[in-house]
């Protein structure tokens, strides 16, 4: 999804994401930008250089996802990581990871919990992780 946002810069966007997702930091690669108007958003695992490239070609000024790095410790993971790092060196976009779990938790908190409570008349207790990054 690519959405238009109030004009911001990379540092301000990161600060807003840290607050929104209630995380201590973000992963960051790519370039900082002084003007961001369109953000590509991909919850969960967004560590695919082809998706990043497609977002940029579609007009995104920044790429926000759960994960910008592949955390699989084998040949597959190392290859994906290298591909993303090569793209990060050439892109003009900031690539921002907010934690895979945190990116999905926000949806659970804002959409799924209210829907379950309304639809099934149950009380739902969310269990946020004490450490989003593992």
Residues at the annotated binding site?
A: 100, 104
Return the pLDDT at 134: 64
Residues at the annotated binding site for a divalent metal cation?
A: 100, 104
What are the structure tokens assigned to 103, written together? 């990116």
Q: 2-105 belongs to which CATH class?
A: alpha beta
Distance from C-alpha of 61 to C-alpha of 3, rounded to nearest angstrom = 10
pLDDT in tens, the chain (134 residues): 999 999 999 999 999 999 999 899 999 999 999 999 999 999 889 999 999 999 999 999 999 999 999 888 999 999 999 999 999 999 999 999 999 999 999 989 999 999 999 999 999 999 988 777 76
Q: At what angle do helices 100-107 and 10-21 cross, to 10 degrees?
A: 70
- Angle value at C-alpha 78, between 75 and 80, nearest 5 degrees: 110
């Amino acid at each position: 999804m690519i959405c238009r946002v109030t004009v911001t810069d990379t540092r301000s966007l990161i600060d807003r994401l840290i607050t929104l997702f209630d995380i201590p930091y973000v992963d960051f690669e790519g370039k900082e930008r002084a003007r961001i108007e369109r953000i590509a958003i991909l919850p969960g695992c967004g560590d695919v250089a082809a998706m990043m490239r497609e977002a940029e070609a579609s007009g995104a000024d920044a790429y926000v996802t759960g994960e910008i790095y592949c955390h699989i410790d084998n040949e597959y993971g190392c290859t994906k990581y290298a591909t993303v790092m090569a793209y990060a060196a050439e892109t003009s976009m900031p690539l921002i990871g907010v934690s895979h779990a945190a990116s999905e938790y926000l949806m659970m908190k804002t959409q799924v919990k209210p829907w379950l409570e309304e639809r099934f008349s149950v009380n739902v207790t969310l269990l946020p992780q004490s450490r989003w990054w593992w």
